[in-house]
């Protein structure tokens, strides 16, 4: 199994099928120790993820990823915030996946890290797509590390597979860390007037698609 596929499983909400397969997943991680997952396979994350009761693991996941934006698994948000450009970026991702036969549900966002990892595991351009989001990945890793979250380990493994930050990416990550994601400062034409442009990213995709058809 691709290391990206394994990391996608670790960073998804731990539903019952994943919980039931934890031993097999951990064994696969240890077998891939030479592909950038060595520290993950030998570190404390694996023991915690394997031995923690399922309900507690689910609670930790929600507390970490769903109750604040600092540790968001949606990788376009740190770069684009809630601006209209994010809707366009999500639409481009959605179309890219569709070209390769990956169809998402109406409420599943294409910039969700586990989705992007699954894409990277199966498509030749998937790793390059992840590399385009190296800055938000680094911000996520740093935020999880600051919180002392065990989930910093699998995100660090993704970063390690992609290689170190460039100087330009490091500067951009520092800028976003200090000032936050950009804010919308202009009108929302030509896609829709401000009063109907939704904040919900899934609605933003639909709004952009409507605008492109006009």
Q: Which two tokens stand for residue 168?
A: 């330009």
The count of domains in the chain is 2
Q: Are residues 48 and 147 in the same domain?
A: yes
Q: Are residues 144 and 54 in the same domain?
A: yes
Q: Are residues 11 and 55 in the same domain?
A: yes
Q: CB–CB of 110/90 below 8 Å?
A: yes
Q: Are residues 133 and 61 in the same domain?
A: yes
> What span, in angstroms and rounded, lies between the C-alpha atoms of 140 and 87?
21
Q: What predicted TM-score, i.e. pTM, was given to this entire model?
A: 0.82
Whole-angstrom CA distances from 122 to 55, 59, 192 are: 31, 30, 36
**17 domain residue, yes or no:** yes
Predicted local distance difference test score (pLDDT) of residue 36: 63
Q: Are residues 144 and 84 in the same domain?
A: no
Predicted local distance difference test score (pLDDT) of residue 202: 53
pLDDT per residue of the chain (214 residues) written in tens, 0 to 9: 899 999 999 999 999 999 999 999 999 988 887 666 767 766 789 999 999 999 999 999 999 998 877 899 999 998 888 778 888 999 999 999 999 988 887 778 999 999 999 999 999 999 999 999 999 999 999 999 999 999 999 999 999 999 998 899 898 888 888 877 766 544 444 433 333 334 455 554 554 444 434 4
Q: Are residues 62 and 139 in the same domain?
A: yes
Contacts 24+ apart (CB under 8 A), 12-19: 12/114, 13/58, 13/61, 13/62, 14/54, 14/57, 14/58, 14/61, 16/54, 19/54, 19/57
Q: Which two tokens stand for residue 6?
A: 């394994």
Domain containing 84: what range? Answer: 76-104+184-214
Q: Are residues 80 and 65 in the same domain?
A: no
């Amino acid at each position: 199994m691709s290391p990206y596929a394994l990391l996608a499983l670790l960073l998804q909400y731990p539903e019952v099928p994943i919980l039931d397969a934890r031993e097999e997943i951990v064994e696969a991680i240890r077998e891939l120790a030479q592909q950038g997952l060595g520290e993950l396979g030998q570190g404390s994350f694996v023991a915690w993820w394997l031995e923690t009761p399922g309900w507690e693991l689910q609670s930790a996941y929600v507390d970490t990823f769903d109750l604040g934006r600092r540790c968001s698994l949606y990788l376009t948000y740190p770069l684009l915030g809630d601006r209209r450009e994010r809707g366009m970026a999500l639409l481009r991702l959605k179309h890219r996946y569709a070209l390769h036969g990956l169809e998402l549900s109406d409420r599943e966002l294409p910039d969700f890290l586990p989705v992007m990892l699954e894409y990277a595991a199966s498509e030749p351009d998937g790793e390059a797509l992840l590399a385009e989001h190296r800055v938000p990945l680094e911000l996520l890793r740093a935020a999880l590390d600051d919180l002392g979250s065990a989930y910093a380990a699998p995100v660090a493994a993704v970063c390690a597979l992609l290689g170190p930050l460039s100087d330009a990416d490091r500067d951009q990550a520092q800028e976003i860390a200090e000032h936050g994601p950009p804010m919308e400062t202009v009108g929302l034409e030509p896609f829709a007037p401000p009063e109907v442009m939704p904040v919900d990213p899934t609605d933003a995709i639909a709004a952009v698609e409507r605008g492109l058809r006009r």
